Homo-oligomer: A and B are copies of this chain.
């Protein structure tokens, strides 16, 4: 699973735009269709390319508020963590959830219509989880950067 320079070029292009055709890519990297096709299929099979997704505009969907929630659990046990994790996976407004080091246990990123929805989410969905002890909210005032492009 070693990536050579051609693989990396292909990945950089596909990260930018999943709708580039094989021909587009072939032209951009000066190859014929065959090797581009073979490499893309190999990268998919190996799991380097996980999936192709559409990025939607959150504001146009009515999601005008982004917040980070710093969550502390009641206990640090495996069962508590697992219970929390499962609950989070069911919540569509939680787009990111990481178990972290520091003064709290989890860092969550929430995308939601407005402050009222957030109030509801906070009071009725998150703080009511039996595993949750403390929530500290950090409000996003302005988005500077948000990309799915990973450094290659």
Contact = CB atoms under 8 A, between A and B. Distances in A.
Query: Chain A contact residues (Cβ within 8 angstroms of B): what range?
Result: 35 or more
A88 B144 contact: yes
A52 B55 contact: yes
A48 to B, nearest CB: 5
Nearest to A68: B107
A61 B150 contact: yes
Interface of A: 1, 3, 11, 14-19, 46-58, 60-61, 63, 66, 68, 85, 88-89, 92-102, 106-107, 111-112, 138-152
The 7 closest A-B pairs by CB, nearest first: A14-B54, A92-B151, A18-B52, A97-B145, A97-B144, A99-B142, A101-B139
